[in-house]
Amino acid sequence: MAPDDITLKLRDVRAASGLSLSKVAEMTGVSKAMLGQIERGESSPTIATLWKIAKGFELPLSALIGSGALRDAATPDVFRTVTFPGSIEVKIVFPFDPALRAETFHVDLAPSQSHESAAHAAGVTEEVFVLNGTLDILRDGAWVPLQAGQGLRFAADLPHGYRAGDQGAAFLNMHHYAQTDTLAAIGKV
């Protein structure tokens, strides 16, 4: 995703909420300076920073990096891909759908690569289904091993993580969100 897309989405979300950069910094834990740099297109945020922003606004990640939900949509021929150097590659399979309060990603991890995630907003649940390779999921402080064809559902409002085996891993990652006032209004963003 182009940094300009994230810039515009962050600016739109902040404008729709009527919040100052200072208030957004307080809500998200991302500095006012960094938020300003992102909005001006001077900095490309990491996946961790995007998650903090999404969590602060009580929004799904794809609200900042996706292209919008399409009801009864088929997966696109070309996925919107977001690559975070030294971290994960995320393809948006289905962007956030306000009616379902869910979004779906296809995630690729290089061999032995890991990614740990801070807790998402209260009530968020993730479902992971391994397509290729082996994957360990960190939940409740312990790693749970999964192989291709296996899946796991867990509370993602706690710290969690993903770790690929020696051959790497590809998996589907579905996020389900609890109803919030922000989600109810997301169609306006």
* Inside any domain, residue 8: yes
Contacts of 137 (CB under 8 A, 6+ apart): 128, 143, 144, 146, 152, 154, 160, 161, 162
Residues 164 and 85 in one domain: yes
d(CA 135, CA 107): 11
Residues 47 and 23 in one domain: yes
* Inside any domain, residue 189: no
Can you give the pLDDT at residue 49? 86
- For 88-124, the pLDDT digits (tens) are 888 888 888 777 888 899 999 999 999 998 888 889 9
* HEC letters along 52-76: HHHHHHCCCCHHHHCCCCCCCCCCC
d(CA 101, CA 63): 11
CB 34 within 8 A of CB 44: no
Can you give the pLDDT at residue 66? 62
Domain of 10, CATH number, reads: 1.10.260.40
Question: Which is higher by pLDDT, 69 or 141?
Answer: 141
Q: Please give the structure tokens belonging to residue 135.
A: 């994957």
Structural domain boundaries enclosing 106: 80-181
* Inside any domain, residue 22: yes
* Inside any domain, residue 122: yes
Residues 102 and 144 in one domain: yes
Residues 84 and 60 in one domain: no
Residues 84 and 174 in one domain: yes
Q: What angle do CA 36, 89, 81 make, to 5 degrees?
A: 75
* Inside any domain, residue 74: no
Residues 87 and 43 in one domain: no
Name the pLDDT band for 31 (thresholds 50, 70, 90): very high
Can you give the pLDDT at residue 4? 55
Can you give the pLDDT at residue 5? 64
Specify the pairing of strand 89-97 against strand 80-83. antiparallel
Domain count, the chain: 2
Residues 13 and 106 in one domain: no
Residues 38 and 116 in one domain: no
Residues 42 and 131 in one domain: no
Question: Hey, which bits of 26-159 come out as E strands?
Answer: 80-83, 89-97, 102-109, 114-117, 125-139, 142-147, 151-155
Residues 134 and 175 in one domain: yes
Could you tell me the end-to-end alpha-carbon distance of the chain, in angstroms, rounded to an integer?
18
Residues 100 and 44 in one domain: no
d(CA 70, CA 72): 6
Can you give the pLDDT at residue 99? 75
Residues 18 and 54 in one domain: yes
